[in-house]
Amino acid sequence: MSGKSTISVVIGIITLILGATSVFGEIQDSINIIWQVKAKPQKGWVKMIKDRVLSSSLIITLGFLLMVSLVINGALLAVSDRLKTFLPDFTVVIFNVINGAISFVVIAVLFGVIFKVLPDVKIRWKDIWPGALFTAVLFMIGRLLISIYIEKSGTSSTYGAAGSLIVILLWVYYTAAILYFGAEFTRAYADFKGIKIEPAEFAVHVEEKEQKKDVDVLPKQHKTDSK
């Protein structure tokens, strides 16, 4: 029985990793469209392996940051509960501010890592922070509005599991929207500042690829016309 359980756990972990890396791969392709870059065809398999390793590393890093954030938030809540008897009003305000600040920093770092690591472009850390901070602000606003909506409307209690699913889908849609909006903001910021963005090792600008294809096709058309 233990052997079967071990096999099931291994299969589950492998499936989870493949699914998560595939999701990050789709996000990477979408962000590459924003940056107008694409993988080199002759380096496709090399880039696929590199992207899988990169996605796995990114998942571990993001998971670690989220875990640290949860531990710190839990510790702050525990300390706040203990000190409420001595300094009730003061501790509630202070610890809420600290908790919100820590959440904001962690979320900004998460978006910063995504905007820096996922796209196949060479971009400096200082060039992605405005977009990461802007996206983190949108994320915090959305989280606040969702929590207020759930508290005021009582969707989960009224419709049961269906209401919870609607709220989750709404939150996922909003998060995906601000992620790509933040990537667009980062690209617009780079263009506004005149920052020259070069493709990564296994990527090429979409315009350059299309121009190369046109150059290869034109001589053949000319030769056909001459005949």
Q: What is the pLDDT of residues 79-92, one digit of tens each?
A: 766 766 666 666 67
Dihedral sign computed on CA atoms, order 170, 171, 174, 175? negative
User: What pLDDT sits at residue 227?
Assistant: 46
Those residues whose C-beta lies under 8 Å from the C-beta of residue 127, and which sit 6 or more positions away, are: 186, 189, 190, 193, 195
Residue 223: pLDDT band by 50, 70, 90 thresholds? very low
Residue 53: pLDDT band by 50, 70, 90 thresholds? confident
What are the domain boundaries of the chain?
Answer: 2-226
Nearest C-alpha neighbor of 178 from the set 170, 166, 167, 190: 170
Instruction: Identify which of 56-60, 122-126, 207-211, 222-226 has the greatest average pLDDT.
Output: 122-126
User: What pLDDT sits at residue 211?
Assistant: 45
Q: What is the DSSP letter of 85?
A: T
Nearest C-alpha neighbor of 17 from the set 59, 49, 74, 54: 59
